[in-house]
Amino acid sequence: MDLKNLTIKKFHEGLMGKKFSAKEAAETFFSSIKKEDEKYGAYLRLTEELALSQALSVDKKIDGGEKVGALAGVPLAVKDVILIKDEIVSGASKILSEYKAGYDATVIKNLKEENSMFLGYTNCDEFAMGASTENSGIQITKNPHDTSRVPGGSSGGSAAAVAADLTVAALGSDTGGSIREPASFCGVVGLKPTYGSVSRFGLMAMASSLDQIGCLTKTVEDAVILFQAIAGRDEFDATSEEHDWSDVMDFDAERAKGLTVGLPEEYFVEGLDAQVEKGLDEALGRFKKLGIKFKKVSLPHTSLGVSCYYIIMPAEVSSNLARLDGIRYSRIIKDDAIEALLDIYKKQKGEGFGEEVRRRIMLGTFVLSHGYYDAYYAQAQKVRRLICRDFEKAFDSGVDAMLTPVYPTPAFKIGEKASDPLEMYLGDIFTIPTSLAGLPGLSAPVKDYKVGSGELPIGFQLIGKKFREQDILGLGRLYETSS
């Protein structure tokens, strides 16, 4: 069984055509991961027992003539922040190294109902905080296209696993670019849905007003299939919404051609890497050839996005991570270090959290503290409103989606930005505004980048209106099928 470029679509055809069984697929993937993943470090833990039982149940259904869906038996990798019942899930943090999930995240529940198969947990920046996966408390993941470079982050393990054909597709989460940036660095497709499209129940909360679960896939077509399975209203997440996603699937290419795409001038500025600029030119040229109309637009508050984000996000982080106090979820410190309750809190967090997590908790504690709240947090939330309005105005001017770069450069070297947190933060400039406004964003490769070719992948970003995933997915699909 050939795992190369194996998509959800091809997997389904192979499974239905009896070219392989789900059990064979599981075994092939696990043997490939065990052999190949030493080079990349994409996986943290494999869930072999679970996968095998899922595979056997799919095979039984097919043998019994039962009808199964497009995701049946499909091997998926899961970012280490999404709960699968009875499996260890650690947020790539030492602090939860032995934490076993007590329930399934809603996305996992949905995918179990689709009879998908979970291969294991992938590496990420600790509690999804980072843009390179270097902040993982467990290991570093390398970019399959160049192992001296980062895969991006924070969903770096998921992106690397998809790029290296060590899974068919993966789940990730995106708070300020954590699906889109690694997708761009690794040459795969990454979808961050609209805030509210996908339930966050069972996702370890980082910044609750920004977090979204999404997917990393080999094609836009696969992203559509996976998105449909995980999207929808969930009673366990009051911010989730029901929408009619039926035309996501039946996307009419002719309708895509009728869309007008905005080019925000603030995203095409000096300082863009020459390779990124060239990649974006290529994408733009191909879209134009397809008949897509483009229009210049302006999003004047774009440059303030990073500052806005690095106040709001740490504020939410400091609140959300307070629960990991050594009393409830886990305790990693030795008993003899404990005299009073306060010792547990301090030592647990001091020893368990990595540098970046501690930095963000401290920053968040500061911006929420007495006397500083209005100057930092309240002002940031007002600027966030201005950023939202920028998008509303641009969309109101007759634009259906926007085309932008994902990241100012291709994948950078491991260690290159590790010592300078601010420099790392500034890289998020093109993905953050979308998150602050709660809009959907799709990162898709400019062309087909083969692992081993030596070429570094470049992605483009399509930003859509709220709950209009079908527009950006449709444009992405049109682009993908035109090559």
Partner 1 sequence: MILKEKDVEHLAELARIEISSAEKKKLLQDLEEILEHVKELEKVNTEGVDPVTGGTAKKNEYRGDDEDVCVSTPPKELQDAFPDKDGGHLKVPHVFD
100-121 burial by CB neighbour count: b if 16+ within 10 A, else e? ebeebbbbbbbbbebbbbbbbb
- Give the full edge-to-edge strand order of the sheet including 293-297: 43-46, 117-122, 75-79, 169-174, 212-217, 189-192, 441-445, 459-464, 401-405, 260-264, 293-297
Residues 6+ apart with CB under 8 A from 193: 212, 213, 214, 227, 231, 440, 469
Binding to partner 1 by residue 106, rule CB under 8 A? no
Q: CB of 59: closest distance to partner 1 in angstroms?
A: 30
Contact 94/347 with Cβ under 8 angstroms? no
Binding to partner 1 by residue 23, rule CB under 8 A? no
Among residues 21, 79, 218, 349, which one is catalytic? 79
Among residues 93, 116, 136, 154, which one is catalytic? 154
Q: Which is nearer to partner 1, 19 or 346 (CB)?
A: 346
Q: CB of 452: closest distance to partner 1 in angstroms?
A: 38
Window 255-314: residues binding partner 1 (CB under 8 A):
301, 304, 306-308, 310-311
Among residues 93, 116, 136, 178, which one is catalytic? 178
Q: Which is nearer to partner 1, 11 or 310 (CB)?
A: 310
Position among 359, 447, 455, 480 found at the interface with partner 1 (CB under 8 A): 359
Binding to partner 1 by residue 398, rule CB under 8 A? no
Binding to partner 1 by residue 331, rule CB under 8 A? yes
Active site residue 79: yes
Position among 23, 61, 257, 358 found at the interface with partner 1 (CB under 8 A): 358
Position among 376, 391, 430, 479 found at the interface with partner 1 (CB under 8 A): 376
Q: Which is nearer to partner 1, 310 or 407 (CB)?
A: 310
Q: Which is nearer to partner 1, 292 or 304 (CB)?
A: 304
Binding to partner 1 by residue 319, rule CB under 8 A? no
Binding to partner 1 by residue 343, rule CB under 8 A? yes
Position among 95, 380, 399, 462 found at the interface with partner 1 (CB under 8 A): 380
Position among 346, 408, 447, 455 found at the interface with partner 1 (CB under 8 A): 346
Show the binding pattern over residues 411-440: x = contacts partner 1 (CB under 8 A), - = does not.
----------xx--x----------x-x--
Show the binding pattern over residues 39-78: x = contacts partner 1 (CB under 8 A), - = does not.
----------------------------------------
Phi, psi of 234 (to 5 degrees): -135, 125
Q: Which is nearer to partner 1, 35 or 323 (CB)?
A: 323
- How far apart CA 476 and CA 417 sit, in angstroms, is 31
Query: Left if phi > 0, otherwise alpha if psi is -120 to 50, otherwise beta: which for 360?
Result: alpha
229-239 burial by CB neighbour count: b if 16+ within 10 A, else e? bbbbebeebee
Active site residue 178: yes
Q: Which is nearer to partner 1, 284 or 363 (CB)?
A: 363
At residue 152's C-alpha, the angle toward residues 206 and 79, to 5°, is: 50
Q: Which is nearer to partner 1, 153 or 196 (CB)?
A: 196
Binding to partner 1 by residue 378, rule CB under 8 A? yes
Q: Which is nearer to partner 1, 33 or 89 (CB)?
A: 89
Window 199-258: residues binding partner 1 (CB under 8 A):
208-210, 235-236, 238-239, 241
Q: CB of 38: closest distance to partner 1 in angstroms?
A: 33
Q: CB of 392: closest distance to partner 1 in angstroms?
A: 12
Binding to partner 1 by residue 186, rule CB under 8 A? no
36-46 burial by CB neighbour count: b if 16+ within 10 A, else e? bbeebbbbbbb
Q: CB of 310: closest distance to partner 1 in angstroms?
A: 6
Q: Which is nearer to partner 1, 218 or 466 (CB)?
A: 466
Q: CB of 325: closest distance to partner 1 in angstroms?
A: 7
- How far apart CA 194 and CA 209 sit, in angstroms, is 12
What are the residues binding partner 1 (CB under 8 A)? 100, 102-103, 195-196, 208-210, 235-236, 238-239, 241, 301, 304, 306-308, 310-311, 318, 322, 325-331, 338-347, 349-351, 353, 355, 358-359, 361-363, 365-366, 369, 375-376, 378-386, 388, 421-422, 425, 436, 438
The catalytic site residues sit at 79, 154, 178
